[in-house]
Amino acid sequence: MKKLIMPVLALVVAGASVAGCSGNEEGGSDAKSISVMASQDWVRAPETDLAKKFETETGIKVDYQIIPSDQYSNVLSTKLNSGDAADIFMNQSGKFDIVSQLQIQKRGVDLTDQEWVSRMDPGAKEQVSVDGKVYGQTIWDVSDSWAYIYNKKIFDRLGLKPPTTFNEFMTVNAALKKAGVTPIYEPVKDGWHSQLNFFDVSAAYNKSDPNLVSDLNANKTKFADHPIFKEMIQQMKQVYDAGYWGDNALSNEFANTASEMAGGKYAMTVNSMGRVADIVAAGKDYTEADFGIFPAPYLDNQIITSAPAGPTKFIAAKSKKIDAAKKYLEFLAKPENLQYMIDKEPSFNALSFTGLKTTYPPAMAQAIKDFRTEDTVTYQNVVIYLNPQWTDFGKDLTSYLLGDTPADEVIANIDQRRADQAKAAKDSSW
């Protein structure tokens, strides 16, 4: 098992000024420092180790500005609009979103001619490309999908098996609760997690209508036209109303997932598959063999979708240190440095570049073999104008679970926000 390294949450106070260097003209390579702005949990300890090594080798200091996740989108938008973005700014990739959200052709730097681009995973490269030009560098484990991690010891003790249908899921949950075990650790407080359930069953949406993605992207249909989306959130509410997320779901935080699961109070949680190691390292009672993985079973789903997008670095077009920023991206993408991140970061078992040694834990390797299909991509990566409303959808979903917003309104709001974004982007299909 890889040694646990805690995520870096606050390296520099958000919004702190970054020291510049006199005489550094736009695009120059004589910079003494560059700034990188990122959302919380996007920059891991091995990367900051490499940043120090980069400074030793080049004399260029890397100043990270870490912003709380619930504030990041607004802060980034403000800085991009004012032309005051960091030299390197991070954002989730997504071939649609980097255009509609970031206006990346105008605000980013074309990186197509960089050597490391030829080694990028094709799926990941597609998500940072516009009109054949590459604008971002995704150093993230895009092979790692989100699914249910479950405690095998608890399941075995109660004679339970991983559910393959929603009805089986509810039966398992009921048995766990009856035995005094909270079925699911769901951290609603963060504002981004509970939505994963909705998107993790994208394969079920495709099964209901093979043309659904293309029709949504062409504005030939709407989410509200398809009852399956309403059915999905209704099933989520059944789970919530039955108490299967426990009494503290609204105050639960993602940062506590590993410790809560390691304590044995909870039997399941939605998490990235590679984070079994985090759970094991957070306690003393379990090994990696004590945990298994299965797909989100809502809508009788049995496929774990792929997600080729992830936190990505872009160079700001208005940066005066473009050459230095490129040099840092080149350094990070060296094979030996990429392998260092895989070896030292517990949640990275692979990265989106060729020629690297993977470190998949057994449960993840088995789940990929049994449940993953590369051609089934999660909806936020393939449906236009969907991912940018992630947080807003989460607020609606929470309101619905609490009984304050009707299900029909939640789905209708998805369509309305998509329409608003399309009009802002002057999309001819709307």
Per-residue pLDDT tens over the stretch 3-33: 443 333 334 433 333 333 333 444 455 679 9
Question: What is the identity of the amino acid at 262?
Answer: A
- If one compares 372 and 174, the residue with the highest pLDDT of the two is 174
User: Three-class SS string for the chain?
Assistant: CCCCCCCCCCCCCCCCCCCCCCCCCCCCCCCCEEEEEEECCCCCHHHHHHHHHHHHHHCCEEEEEEECHHHHHHHHHHHHHHCCCCCEEEEECCCCHHHHCCCHHHHECCCCCCHHHHHECHHHHHCCEECCEECEECCCCCCCCEEEEEEHHHHHHCCCCCCCCHHHHHHHHHHHHHCCCEEEECCCCCCCCCHHHHHHCHHHHHHHCCCHHHHHHCCCCCHHHCHHHHHHHHHHHHHHHCCCCCCCCCCCCHHHHHHHHHCCCEEEEEEEHHHHHHHHHCCCCCCHHHEEEECCCHHHCCCEEECCCCEEEEEECCCCCHHHHHHHHHHHCCHHHHHHHHHHCCCCCCCCECCCCCCCCHHHHHHHHHHEEEEEECHHHHCCCCHHHHHHHHHHHHHHHCCCCCHHHHHHHHHHHHHHHHHHCCCCCC
Annotate 115-139 with b (16+ C-beta within 10 A) or e (fewer): ebbeebbebbbbbbbbeeebbbbbb
Q: How confident is the model at residue 277 (pLDDT cuts 50, 70, 90)?
A: confident
pLDDT digits (tens, 9 = 90+) for 141-160: 988 889 999 999 999 999 99
Token reading at 290? 């004590």
CATH topology of domain 146-306+367-424: D-Maltodextrin-Binding Protein; domain 2 (3.40.190)
The whole-number pLDDT of residue 70 equals 79
pLDDT exceeds cutoff 80 at 37? yes
pLDDT for 32: 94
> Are the CB atoms for 377 and 207 separated by under 8 Å?
no
**Where are the domain boundaries for CATH 3.40.190.10 in the chain?**
33-142+308-353, 146-306+367-424
pLDDT of residue 376: 87
Q: So what's the pLDDT on residue 30?
A: 64
Per-residue tokens: 412: 């209708």
What's the CA angle centered on 289, arms 198 and 359, to 5 degrees? 75
The domain at 33-142+308-353 falls in which architecture? Answer: 3-Layer(aba) Sandwich (3.40)
- CB neighbour class for 165 (10 Å; exposed up to 12, middle 13-18, buried from 19): middle
Q: How far apart are CA 353 and CA 146, in angstroms?
A: 20
Cα end-to-end distance, the chain, whole Å = 50
Per-residue pLDDT of 61-99, as tens digits, reads 999 999 998 799 899 999 999 999 999 999 999 988 899
Query: Quick check: 307 pLDDT over 70?
Result: yes
Place of tokens 């120090």: 52
pLDDT of amino acid 50: 98
pLDDT beyond 60 at 210: yes
Report how far residue 123's alpha carbon sits from residue 138's, in angstroms, rounded to the nearest whole number.
11
Answer for the pair 288, 361: CB distance below 8 angstroms, yes or no: yes
Across the chain, what does the average pLDDT equal?
Answer: 91
pTM of the complete model: 0.79
